[in-house]
Amino acid sequence: MSKLSRDRIISSLRNIVGKEYVETDPAAIRLYSKEASGLEGVAVAVVFPENAKEISKIVKFAYENDIKIYPQGAATDLAGASIPEHHGIVISFDRMSKIKDYSIVDSYIIAEAGARLIEINDVLSKEGYMFPVDPASMKSVTVGGVIAAGGGGLRGALYGTMREWLMELEVVLPDENGTVIRVGCRTTKCRQGYDLVRLFSGSEGTLGIITEATLKITPIPENIVTVAGFFDTLEQAMEAVVKIKKARIAPYAMEFVDAKTVEIGKQNLNLDWDVKGNMLIVSVAGPVEVADKYIKILSESMESAEASNTMKAASQDEAEELRLFDLRRACYPSAIQLAAQSMSPDKSKPLILIEDIAVPPTKLPETVKQLRALEDKYGLPLAIYGHVGDGNLHPTTWIDATDEEAKKKVWEMFDEIMEVALKMGGTISSEHGIGLHKKRGLEMEMKHKRSEKALELMRKIKKIFDPKNILNPGKVI
């Protein structure tokens, strides 16, 4: 804990970035101390630097005076990684949002940490290109935030997660000098000893402050076809997945919503679909000329797996007209709406908690069954959906945060959900990270793998990068 007074800290920060770029109003600070799930922390001030040089000075000052630093993008995090747990300073990247350069021939775009992914894609779309990582919060997320989180999204079935699309990073280290380093290259092939670029990806702001990134880009697909199938049983839906993969199809997106969550979503969205059951929605990218071929393969694969209904779109525009992805996209917002409807607005405080496990896709039917058994055991609502292409599920529940008994039950249930994932040969976290919520789960996973030594190595890495533990302390490990 710093020995400096609050006034001294604020005065010093103003000397670095200017008076107008240090926010001290309690109401404003509170806005920057929340994350999307509803968790809330505390901070002394919010600072808005303009460049890496100013961040370096802030870090040097914080290091000298034992002040905690919490880097923050859009705070869409769902694992507690962006919450300022202790009194310290939040660094916002609102002023560092420039898209600095891009090259279609060299296949990269360079952006500051505060640039939003949607802005990057607005620029690239004019050239027929895109940055393919697409978290559900695409319209809000920043480059630095999604790198620190190691984010993924619906297109992960084809394009993977953030770490696959990083080329070069500029990072400020939490040392006595606020050292600025550049790691990685602007070339496709790059060997620089240990891969520090990927170490920062998914580090959740605990090892360094990402200030700029060079990202790989890819052409926008010429066309995307989509087929949604509805199945009476989970096994039938999984059989369709197997058939599609055996047909040598590389899905652009492959999503799953279980039967109960389908019914909730239909009601909330006023969808007049005459369908029921477990929903499998698959998109494939390719030339317009092969659209019919892909639709036939997807449809026949689902129908031979006894889909009760299928809905088909020969293009992305048609898929949007049919609202094929609306139900999947609305799973988390629907949970928020249901939580609010189930509680008294005057007395309750809704807390929506979203899990992020992954299992081998062949284990999905048994996993969902065990999750539904946990819903019955704990008496808590559970919406189940996710990215079936890579086995990533997002069981989502909601409680009244003022109900201590409910809080106890929900964390016990989440522990059991993570245990289910591990028993199925999976992992406790896929794309949301560890943050505060998953620290115990990370220990569970390493113990399950008999790799407790890995945690020891992680703690040593944290100590090397952040010897005074000033950068987003208490997260991950």
- DSSP tag of 83: -
Which domains are delineated in the chain?
Answer: 6-94 (3.30.43.10), 99-219 (3.30.465.10), 223-329 (3.30.70.2190), 342-432 (3.30.70.2740)
For the segment 305-331, what is each residue's pLDDT rounded down to a tens digit?
999 999 999 999 999 999 998 888 888
- Which SS3 state, helix, strand or coil, does residue 137 take? coil
Report the range of poorest mean pLDDT among 167-181, 256-270, 423-437: 256-270
Residue 361's closest CA among 389, 398, 341, 329? 389
**pLDDT above 90 (res 80):** no
Amino acid in the structure at residue 309? N
Residue 55 confidence class, pLDDT cut points 50, 70, 90 = very high
Contact 214, 110 (CB under 8 A): yes
- Which SS3 state, helix, strand or coil, does residue 323 take? coil
What Å distances lie between residue 250 and 35, 158, 246, 393, CA to CA?
A: 35, 7, 10, 20
State the Cα–Cα distance between residues 435 and 455, nearest whole angstrom. 15
Residue 333 exposed, middle or buried by CB count within 10 Å (0-12, 13-18, 19+): middle
For residues 59-69, give the mean pLDDT.
Answer: 97
Percent of the residues in the chain that have a pLDDT greater than 90, as a whole number: 72
Residue 37 confidence class, pLDDT cut points 50, 70, 90 = low
Left (φ > 0), alpha (ψ -120 to 50) or beta: where does 87 sit? beta
**pLDDT above 90 (res 140):** no
Contacts of 418 (CB under 8 A, 6+ apart): 355, 357, 428, 438, 441, 444, 445
**pLDDT above 90 (res 34):** no
pLDDT at residue 344, as a whole number: 78
For the segment 230-283, what is each residue's pLDDT rounded down to a tens digit?
999 988 998 999 899 899 989 999 999 988 889 888 888 888 899 999 999 999
**pLDDT above 70 (res 24):** yes
- Which SS3 state, helix, strand or coil, does residue 268 take? helix
Contact 106, 112 (CB under 8 A): no
State the Cα–Cα distance between residues 48 and 95, nearest whole angstrom. 6
State the Cα–Cα distance between residues 225 and 219, nearest whole angstrom. 17
Mean pLDDT over each residue of the chain, to the nearest integer: 92
Residue 342 confidence class, pLDDT cut points 50, 70, 90 = confident
Task: Provide the Cα torsion 71, 73, 78, 83; round to 10°.
Answer: 30
**pLDDT above 70 (res 447):** yes
